[in-house]
Every structure is written in C-alpha cells, then in structure tokens.
A and B are shown apart, each in its own frame.
Chain A
Amino acid sequence: MRKTLGLAALAATLACGGANAQQVNVKIGVLSDMSSLYSDIGGAGSVVAAKLAIADFTAKNPDVKVELISGDHQNKPDIGSQKANQWYDVDKVDMIIDTPNSGVALAVSQVTASKNKIFIVSGAAASDLTGPKCNANTIHWTYDTWMLANGTGKALVKTGGDTWFFLTADYAFGHALERDTAAAVEANGGKVVGKVRHPLNTNDFSSFLLQAQASKAKIIGLANAGGDTINAIKSGAEFGIVKGGQKFAGLLVFASDVIALGLPTAQGLTLTETWYWDMNDANRAWTKRWQAERGAAGKFPTMVQAGVYSGVTHYLKAVAALKSAADGKAVVAEMKKTPTDDPLFGKGTVRADGRKLHPAYLFEVKAPSESKYPGDIYKIRATIPAEEAFRPLKEGNCPLVSG
C-alpha cells in the first residue's frame, strides 16, 4: 500500500514537471568593475541595463524565466576568472556579460569556451577577442580597439595630426589600442615618434606629459581609459599642452569621463563611440528609464551600458528560439545566424568571428557655451557605416575564420 502510494506520488510529481516543460530557465551574470576606475563606465549601470532588457523581453515572452546576478571583478584577471568558474560551475550561470577591462575579458573568454557557456563582451576593448583569441563562445558587442583606432586615429591624421606620441596603460587593453592606432596612423601617412607605458591607475601624469612635450609630436595619443584618461587630460591642461600647440587624442573616452572632466577642460576633444544618449528619441526615452531605475537623474548611460541592454535582448531572443540555454556554442551560432534589432542600436549583425557590427560615430566635445542642458556634451562630426567601422574579417587572424 505504502509502495503504491509512493509510486503514485512520484508519478504525480513527474506529471507536474512535464506540464512546465514549455518554460525556459536562463541565468545571466553581469561581471563588471563595481568599485574602481571603470565602475561608472559599466558597473551598477550595466546591471540596470540588463534588468531593463530582461523586463522588456519577458513582458513579451512570459515562458522565458530569467534570473540575474552581478559581481565585481576588481580589474584583476585572476579574480575575474575565479568568479566566472564559480558562476558557471556552482551558480549555474548560462551567460556572462559586460566586463570592462580587457585583461579580465580575455581570461573569462577562455573559461567560457572551456565550459561551453556564453560570454558577451560589452565593456572590454581589445580587438584580440575577435582576432587571435577568438572562440565559438564569445561575442564582442559594443566597440573595440580597432574601431577606436580607425575612427579617431584616421580622422586626426587626415586633418593634419601626422606625428604621434603614445601614453599607454601598461596592460592588454593599452597595448592593443596602441598597436591598432599606430597601424592606422602609419597606414594613413603619419608617424609614431615616441611612446611611454604607465601603470594602470596612475595618479600623476606630469612626468609622462613632460616626455610627450619633449617629443614635439603634434598629437598625444592617450591609449588608456577611465580615471587614467581623466588625470592625463587634467594635467595636460595645467602644463599648457594644448596652448603649446599639441593636441590630445582621447582614444577611448566615455560620456562619464567627459562629464567628470567638465566641458571647460574637455572641449574640443575628438572621440569615437557607438552610442550616445541624445542621438535620437528612442535613446532619450531609454535613458529616462535607465535614470529612474538607477536612481540617478544626473548620470547618463554610456555605450557600454547600452550594449549590455542590446546584448541581453539578442541573447534572450536566441535562447527563446532554441528553447534552451544549455549549449553555449549552439546559442552563439543562433545569435550569429539571426540579424540583431533593438531600440538602441537598430539593425545589425553578429559576424562569424564573434564581432557585432553597427555604425560608429565621430563626436567632438561641445564648448560650455554650446551645451544647453545637463548631458548635452557631444556634437556629431561623422558617421562611419558598419562595414567600414570594424576590422575586415580576413585581417583578424581568428582561427574560426581562417580554418
């Protein structure tokens, strides 16, 4: 009697399980710099962007259930890969997104491939992620060093800045950005006259700027980001770099950096980004939602955070189509097969080497007199169409493609 009851109970439970088989369960992890120099670029704002994407998607697709967690990689590759391992193995995360800091992104990309999960890089820049270090589980979403180098670098050389001195952050990202920009400068007829490598998170740039001044290069290329770029530009203003006739090229500058510098110091800076909050009505509407959710009316989302929204949206579409998030390679293949379409980046594609394609924009920072409201910091100088903005597929040396 007891055995029969037990069997009946078991059958009933299994039947209940069967009824829920339509539901797809997905777990997403936002791995970012939550506490240090890149935390305004990604950080808590990226978590908010992911939340918005999940809310928008599950409203139209109630049979997909999404769980979101977040973590801090502290800009250390060993902590980043340890977190990724723990999330994939213990916490059953299916996809990791964001990760500003190329050193961490490269490490997490390897971990992801070995566990057949998915990694969408919105925050990091090194173009190696779709080059020699590409794999079938990683997609590079928002921007990369090649795009920055050819956007800003080419534009500046063509307008007369033909001698360059590089100030490079001494790690994977800085080296990649310096390499790609030097190549772009030389391809367009310019010359690199010197370079100096500084440790990540450097407080004081006066010594390096002195060397840049001595080189007499027309352009001082800042192959760094976040707090380092801000410090360099601030010191540059003090040492009369611009008054002395040299110009800064901010190779990677985000809206959050420009706001931190203030328009009086940052005006005239030329930079390349792939998304700006004030470009169209869809972006403005999303920004208001982001600000409300973030609880920060004075902050503006960066392209990295917009990229997180876009990446999560496309990922969830692929998972819903396949009805499962388990096989990383299969989901990535689906993401490459399907064209992308979201309110922020519009229509685009994901290429065979994992590179997401969309247009890039050359911006110039407005002067204080031109800025009419808080956040009004850029004027658009040029639009680079998607086919030209990113490195051609053949030049990448990605094993997935040449093989």
Chain B
Amino acid sequence: MFEILGIPLTALFGQLLIGLINGSFYALLSLGLAVIFGMLNIINFSHGAQYMLGAFAAYLLLQYSGLGYWPALIVAPVLVGITGMIVERLFLQWLYKLDHLYGLLLTFGLALIVEGVARNFFGSAGLPYTVPESLQGGRNLGFMFLPNYRAWVIVASLTICIGTWFVIERTRLGAYLRAATENPTLVRAFGINVSRMITLTYGFGVALAAFAGVMAAPVYNVSPQMGSELIIVVFAVVVIGGMGSILGAIITGFGLGVIEGLTKVFVPEASNTVIFVIMAIVLLVRPAGLFGRRG
C-alpha cells in the first residue's frame, strides 16, 4: 500500500477529514470573533465563555423544557445572543472610544466570572449530552468510519460561514454595517440607527459562538472550562487570518484544522503547539495576518 512517512494513504485521508471537521469548529468560532473585531473593534475574550453558554443552554433546555437538539440550535444562540446584547448595552458601549485593551480586559473578566459561576453550580467533570437520534450512526467510507454527526458539522459550519460572509460583504445590510464602523457620524447623518446596529452585530457574533457551542455539546465534554481550552487556539486562528477579515477567519479556520489534524498523526505531542508556531511565523512575515487589511 502506498505510504507517506510510514502512514498509509487511506489513513491519511481519514485524518484529513477529521482535520476538516475540527476546522469547522475553529472557523465558526473565529468567524464570530472576526465579525466582532472587524465591525466593532472589540477584542472579545468572552467568546469562549459564550461558546460554553451555548452548550450549557442546550443541556438546560433539554433538562428543563424537553427541547431537543434541533430546537436548541435556534433557541440557544438567540438566548445567549440576547445576553450578549445586554452586555453590550451595559458595559461595552462605553469602551469604543478607548484603547482596545479595555475591551479585552472587560470581556476577559466577564469570561472568568461566567466560568466560575458555571463551575460553582455544575462542577468541572461535565454534563451528559448525547447525539440526536436522527444523526446517530455513520457510514463506512472505506478509508474511515465517518459518523453522521461529524458530516453534519462540516455542512452546517460551511453554510453558516458562507452565509455570514455573503451578508456582510455582498448585501446592503452588510454595507451599512461596514460603513457604520468606518464612519459612524456620517452614517448616522443618513438616518441609520448606528448604535442599534452595533448592538445587534455584537449579539450576532455572540450567537455564532453559542451556535458552535450547541454543535459541540454532543461530541465534546460539556464542562465550564470547554471554552477556555478552545479560545486561545481560536484567537491564534483569527490573528493568522487577519483580525478584521471575515474570509480570512473562515479559510484559516478550516486550513489550520487540517494542519493540526496532520500534526496529530505525525507528531501527536506537538499538536497543541503547532498553531502557535505558525502564528509566530506569520506574524514575523506578515504582521497584518494572511488576509488582513488593517495595519
């Protein structure tokens, strides 16, 4: 059988597919971060906590109101998005004129509070959440066994990512949004409610994180620290892709998922550092990131 560095080709295809699946989670999360930073100039360090809230919301909806996975995919992001909008109205709106650092500190503090409260009520071991009936099982592709749920993750993630990119870059609403961040005074002069748009955008970014959380609940351990484990990697993805670039976040998310997947095969011990090594190299060569347009 044809082998590359001791790994048979069929096994490699399997790992590439796994990498693509992980990349879907990275892409979804970094999309939310890129939207928030690109549109609002806030470094949203509470993104990981909001991802965790999405997963917890899915669990609580199942426990207390019997709402399963499919309704939770819509309800949980809406609920968490609303809390995001409240945070924006109460805290973040005062920070737009200040240095980025203040937004970072505030959102980081919020993340610690949310995580601590969740750990206090639920413990750290995690909560059970199973794959929905309709997506259980999988099919044997010959080179690997692909669970149906993981295939669904790729499809859903690609759809949301492309849809978001389309709305922001190609529709009138997206144009208003991009204009509002570049020159809010002028856009306000045209009669558009800029602050409401900004609140809704933050809410949308948070809802994206919560959506990723609901998608993760059946397959990853639903625990209070699930967000903090992932968020550092996602930030690295966004930095590599370019902090303001939506397309950059999507492409880098999928790409880095694949690279991490390959590292897990060849040098598994290095799999959680390879993304940071790449980030260091990219920042040396192209400080604005691969697709970034800001200095």
Contacts and interface: CB of A to CB of B under 8 A. Distances in A.
Interface of A: 35-41, 43, 170, 196-199, 201-204, 206-208, 210-211, 213-214, 226-227, 230-231, 234-235, 238-240, 244, 256-257, 259-262, 264-265, 296, 299
Nearest to B140: A240
Interface of B: 8, 11, 14-15, 18-19, 21-22, 116, 119, 123-128, 130-131, 137-138, 144-145, 147, 149-150, 218-221, 223, 225-226, 229-230, 261, 264-265, 268-269, 271-273
Interface centre among A170, A204, A240, A256 (most CB of B within 10 A): A204
19 contacts: A35-B124, A39-B123, A40-B123, A40-B124, A203-B229, A206-B22, A206-B150, A227-B225, A231-B220, A238-B147, A238-B218, A240-B137, A240-B145, A240-B147, A244-B145, A260-B127, A260-B221, A261-B126, A262-B128
- For the complex of A and B, list the 8 residue pairs with the smallest distance between their C-beta atoms, beginning with the closest: A262-B128, A260-B125, A40-B125, A260-B126, A207-B264, A199-B272, A39-B124, A256-B125
A289 to B, nearest CB: 19
Contacts of A202: 271-272
A326 B137 CA distance: 61
Contacts of B265: 207, 211
A208 B229 contact: no
A355 B130 CA distance: 41
Contacts of B119: 35, 39
Contacts of A170: 268-269
Interface centre among A238, A256, A296 (most CB of B within 10 A): A238
Interface centre among A259, A260, A262, A296 (most CB of B within 10 A): A260
A239 B150 CA distance: 10
Contacts of B128: 260-262, 264-265
The interface residues of chain B, by DSSP majority, are classed as mixed
Given A40-B125, A41-B125, A199-B271, 14 more contacts: A35-B124, A38-B124, A39-B123, A43-B124, A197-B268, A203-B230, A207-B19, A207-B265, A207-B271, A227-B126, A240-B145, A256-B123, A256-B125, A260-B127
A204 B229 CA distance: 11
A37 B225 contact: yes
Contacts, number: 117
A49 to B, nearest CB: 16
Contacts of A38: 124
A299 B229 CA distance: 24
B261 A207 contact: yes
Nearest to A229: B221
A125 B150 CA distance: 35
Contacts of A234: 219-221
A164 to B, nearest CB: 17
Contacts of A256: 123, 125
B221 A210 contact: no
B150 A198 contact: no
B11 A230 contact: no
B150 A210 contact: no
Contact of B124 (A36, A207, A259): A36
A210 B18 contact: yes
Contacts of B149: 238
Given A43-B124, A202-B272, A227-B221, A210 B15 contact: yes
Contacts of B124: 35-40, 43, 227
A259 B221 CA distance: 12
Contacts of A230: 125-126, 221
B285 to A, nearest CB: 26
B123 A203 contact: no
Contact of B269 (A40, A197, A261): A197
Contact of B11 (A203, A214, A235): A214
A349 to B, nearest CB: 32
A343 B221 CA distance: 35
